[in-house]
Amino acid sequence: MGKQWFLFDVYNGRIISIGASSTATTLRLSSVTINSKVIENGARHLVDHVTPFHISILCFLLNPYRDFTKSNGGYGKVFKSFVLGRYTVFMTGREASKILLSGKDGMVSLNLFYTGQQVLGPNSLLQTNGEAHKRLRRLIAEPLSIDGLKKYFHFINTQAIETLDQWTGKRVLVLEEASSFTLKVIGNMIMSLEPSGEEQERFRANFKIISSSFASMPFKIPGTAFHRGIKARDSMYAMIDSIIATRRNGEVIQQDFLESLIIKHSKGTNTIDNEDNKLTDQQMKDNILTLLVAGHDTTTAALTWLVKFLGENPAVLEQLREEHLQIQANRKDGTNLTWSEVNNMPYTNKVISETLRRATILPWYSRKAAQDFEIDGYNIKKGWSINLDVVSIHHDPETFPDPEKFDPSRFDAPLKTFSYLGFGSGPRMCPGMNLAKLEICIFIHHLVCKYKWRALEKDDSVQPTLVRMPKNKYPIMVEPL
């Protein structure tokens, strides 16, 4: 049999098999029923040249959200494949999670996909490793701290109320509405963008193109989605450059993330004028874009899944509503949600954790072996790709009995470390975790206190994108309580 290559297009949900005869076969994500001839040829190739798991690994690639430990033929929690011209190791389990995410001894580095590398830029927090990563994270951490977020509380609260006021009596696509809400929040937080107007529309248009470029093949040819993404990124950077110049000239002063970076990292502002304690403009821009992309998509998905799971679990919704109505009842007449109230929502935080467990918004974490090491009796070689399957960790029945059930009481007691990865773990734990929780708690408070809703479609399918979202965008009909 001649050589055959498999190109896995995760974004569009297909595998393209190109053989020596120049023929091509497309296998759709929605179906694992493949023409018998394709199964025979493909399986032989996978057994002889790629992996002993033949159709098992093919099914894993076709559906990256499945729990591969249930269907890998009994090969255990670690197996190796040959994907896109390189060895790739797939892992699951708490011990694998601990090794890969703890950063111990510099065993692994982040394995960012090529389009992400190109769009986010070389100075992105997601591109750095080791001491460089620690330094960069320290320099941008302060505005994302709990104290640093207080100044954005009123804006987030106002936007949540205004967004939900427009839902009454309408058919709403929760994913689109959540996307609009989170984009307004993060745009205002980072550079004080108003929620409407020409500048907001330009920002939104560029961001949508940038975001969609992650779901494209990495061909920088005019007219392709990837090329449009790079051009939109450059336009976004020009916008940020203009804002930075205006701020430095003293024309405008804002209390936002960008202003804090400009002040903190301008020359002469530190007691010791050490370049190790400063960010360049390019570092600021790359990491502003990183925060925009990472903070928007994940929080949008979390909000959408949470509304879906609440609608499907009325007992959980009722208990959550009781917590929020009690908060409202304890408040003086005429006052609105307060910062202290948001920080005292114990059941809400359990619901958020269970949402992130059940949905597993980031289905796997990708790393690259920075050195040779051993795990579970297997030798991992430097340079190999390593994928940690988070879905199977979050659905491990030993840690989470009846894992398909939506049950916030799982979080009544602390879990073992590295068994729950809702915001990651270790040195690369999500730096925007506090912001995401703040947005969700505020939004959910106003939703459950004022509104009821019903789903208009029963569809559990998932978009084949890097961030896991409901494919139908979760349409609902909303009415006041």
Q: Which residues are annotated as a binding site?
A: 430
Instruction: Count the helix, strand and coil residues of the chain and give each as a percent rounded to the nearest 5.
Output: 50, 15, 35
Binding site residues for heme, as ranges? 430
Contact criterion met (CB below 8 Å) for 372 and 382: yes
H helix runs in 171-313, sequence order: 174-191, 198-213, 225-248, 257-264, 281-312
Crossing angle of helices 281-312 and 433-450, rounded to 10°: 30
Contact of 15 with 5, CB cutoff 8 Å = no
Contact indicator for 380, 373 with CB cutoff of 8 Å: yes
- Are the C-beta atoms of 30 and 41 separated by less than 8 Å? no
Give the whole-angstrom CA distance, residue 383 versus residue 306.
38
Looking at residue 67, what DSSP letter applies?
A: -
Residue with tokens 């470390």: 417
Q: Which two tokens stand for residue 429?
A: 């734990």
- Beta-bridge partners for 18: 5, 24
- Tokens for 239, please give them: 């916008």
Give the relative orientation of helices 174-191 and 153-165 as an angle to the nearest 10 degrees. 150
HSE toward the beta carbon, residue 20, CA cutoff 13 A: 5
Angle at the Cα of 162 from the Cα atoms of 159 and 167, rounded to 5 degrees: 125
Rounded CA-CA distance 34/367 in Å is 31
